[in-house]
Amino acid sequence: MSTIDRIGHVVLRVSDVDAAVDFYRDALGMEVVRHDPQRAMAFLSFGTQHHDIAVSADRGDGSRGSLGLAHIAMHMPGGDAELVAMHDRLVARGVPIKTTTDHGVSHSVYFTDPDGNGLEIFVDTMAPEDGIVEMRERGGGAIALDLAKIVR
């Protein structure tokens, strides 16, 4: 059976990306592995993985309730076959899948829990040290992922 072994990262919607970057970098000592003003996002790491926290500009009205948790990402230690198996398990249980994404550093499936909380399951596509370099140099990516093409 496919398993999830840990929380991989958390994504927060914030009112000011630069202020959030300053806080997580200066107050918590995180490394800014990628700050992308055009996408209004930043990715921060404690140094062992490509990112532990990501912050993105709120797309709503910037009020409490629209700010905060965007999603929790849960890491799967296996590869694409395990990701596809977990995807299929979710679908079999009637969980609507929002999207599947190739981030360069990972392959992901996005969905929500019954209360609408954003969730992501993902597998890394490269070693942690390579993932940090990828984020620093290229910023990862976000293109559609066709699960049928990666495993089946």
Please compute the mean of the pLDDT values over residues 91-100 and round it to a whole number: 93
For residue 56, what pLDDT is reported? 92
Q: How far is CA 95 from CA 59, 87, 114, in A?
A: 25, 9, 9
Residues 6+ apart with CB under 8 A from 33: 43, 44, 45, 50, 51, 132, 135, 136
Residues 152 and 84 sit within 8 Å (Cβ to Cβ): yes
Domains of the chain (ranges plus CATH)? 6-150 (3.10.180.10)
Residue of higher predicted confidence among 139 and 94: 94
Mean pLDDT of 115-138: 88
pLDDT digits (tens, 9 = 90+) for 29-80: 999 999 999 999 999 999 999 999 999 998 776 666 678 888 999 999 989 9
